[in-house]
Each structure stands twice: as C-alpha cells, then as structure tokens.
C-alpha cells in the first residue's frame, strides 16, 4: 500500500512490446489499484552517471499521477546533508490537474531532485516547475524523455530539447529506475473522483504507457 493505492500485478501489462500501467478501482471494495515498477530487484539495473531515456505517454486523472524516475536506497537524512550519498531524481512527473483540481495541467510536466530523506524538516529539493508542451502537442501522444547525469550536473530533455538543468543535489551513488503511477487524495495532483477510476479495463482508467527504456552509462 502506498498512499491511497494498492500495488497490483494485474495493473501492469505488456502487449506488442508496450508496457501499460493502469490505475483502476475495484467496484466490489472501492479499493484503488495501480502499478509501481522498478529495476532494483536482481538482476535489475542500477547505475551511476549516464544517459537514460524512455519513450512514454500518459493519460492521467485527478488525484493520480505517473512518473519516470531514479532512486537510491542511500537517500536518507545526513548531518550535514550529503546528496552524493544518493537522491531521488524525477525525470518526468505528469498529472491531470493541480492541487484542489484548480487547473488543467494535462499538457504540462515537471522534474525535480530530492535528497536528505523525506522528513519535512530535513528534505532538500529543487524543481523545474511546470513546463508546458508546445501548442498542438499532447501527452496522450508518444514523447521521449531523457536525463543526462554527470558528476557535476543533471540535464533534462523532452523530445531531444533540453528544458532544465541543475548542479544541485548531484548523486554519486547507484540509482535504479522506476516507472510508477500513484494515487493520493487532496494532494498536489488533485482530488480522487467520487466514483474512483472504474474497474480494470474501463475507459476511465488512467494509463501510463512505456515503449522502451534505454541506459548509456558513462565510462
């Protein structure tokens, strides 16, 4: 269980070489289910420095968001803070609306770096803010999202164009890849619909689809 969602194996499906993570609501219990995949489990994939990208698309709903990100198990509080030990790198996060369902951000995306654990008084963060796709573009279409991670900088790309970079919070530790959808009511992605997201396979299911993920590690 993570926030208001149970991670379920049937929420993730691979067909025609495309991974689909669906978010749905069990009509018999009202419980929400979604998928949370990572490359930590052996043989897995963990790396330090390199270029990582995914071809991806999203259809999200209020109260729910999807992400392509990296994480180190060494991301915890240190005195003084030590991002070199490991961080959370959100390559892309996508949601349908802002908090309180205040604004449609379905054509927006954001990136962030978080380190020093997750306690409110200790966590350190820097983010790109919401960036918007060019006119006529949609996240229901395929996009390539990328990160170049070096010992001194992160550079974030969408469809080959850099949209943000930072020299803060640079991890020097192995990081693994996550492809996830999450649900949290009345938070930064808005409010869960009163009727939930419909049974598995319904047209109202939010979906995250991934065509491929590629990693090039720096020598």
38 band by pLDDT with thresholds 50, 70 and 90: very high
Residue 55 has phi, psi (to 5 degrees) of -100, 125
Q: Which domains does the chain have, with CATH numbers?
A: 6-217 (2.60.120.200)
Query: What's the pTM?
Result: 0.97
Contact 121, 102 (CB under 8 A): no
Can you tell me the mean pLDDT for 204-209? Answer: 98
Contact 176, 44 (CB under 8 A): yes
- pLDDT for the residue numbered 41: 87
Determine how β-strand 207-217 pairs with β-strand 18-22.
antiparallel
Residue 219: pLDDT above 80? Answer: no
- pLDDT for the residue numbered 42: 78
Say whether the peptide bond before residue 80 is cis (omega within 30 degrees of 0). yes
pLDDT digits 0-9 by tens, 147-173: 999 999 999 999 999 999 999 999 999
pLDDT digits 0-9 by tens, 9-22: 999 999 999 999 99
pLDDT digits 0-9 by tens, 58-75: 999 999 999 999 999 999
- pLDDT for the residue numbered 79: 96
């Amino acid at each position: 269980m993570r926030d208001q969602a149970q991670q379920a194996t049937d929420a993730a499906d691979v067909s025609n070489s495309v991974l689909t993570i669906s978010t749905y609501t069990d009509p018999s219990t009202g419980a929400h289910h979604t998928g949370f995949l990572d490359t930590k489990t052996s043989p897995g994939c963990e790396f330090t420095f390199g270029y990582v990208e995914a071809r991806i698309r999203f259809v999200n709903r209020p109260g729910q968001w999807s992400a392509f990100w990296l994480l180190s198990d060494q991301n915890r509080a240190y005195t003084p803070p030590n991002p070199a030990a490991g961080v959370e790198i959100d390559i892309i996060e996508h949601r349908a609306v802002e908090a309180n369902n205040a604004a449609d951000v379905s054509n927006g995306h954001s990136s962030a770096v978080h380190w020093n654990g997750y306690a409110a008084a200790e966590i350190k963060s820097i983010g790109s803010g919401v960036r918007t796709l060019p006119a006529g573009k949609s996240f229901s279409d395929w996009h390539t999202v990328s990160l170049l991670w070096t010992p001194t900088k992160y550079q974030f790309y969408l469809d080959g164009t850099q949209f943000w970079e930072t020299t803060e919070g640079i991890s020097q530790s192995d990081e693994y890849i996550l492809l996830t959808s999450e649900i949290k009511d009345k938070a930064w992605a808005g409010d869960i619909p009163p009727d939930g997201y419909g049974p598995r396979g319904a047209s109202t299911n939010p979906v995250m689809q991934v065509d491929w993920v590629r990693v090039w590690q720096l020598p």
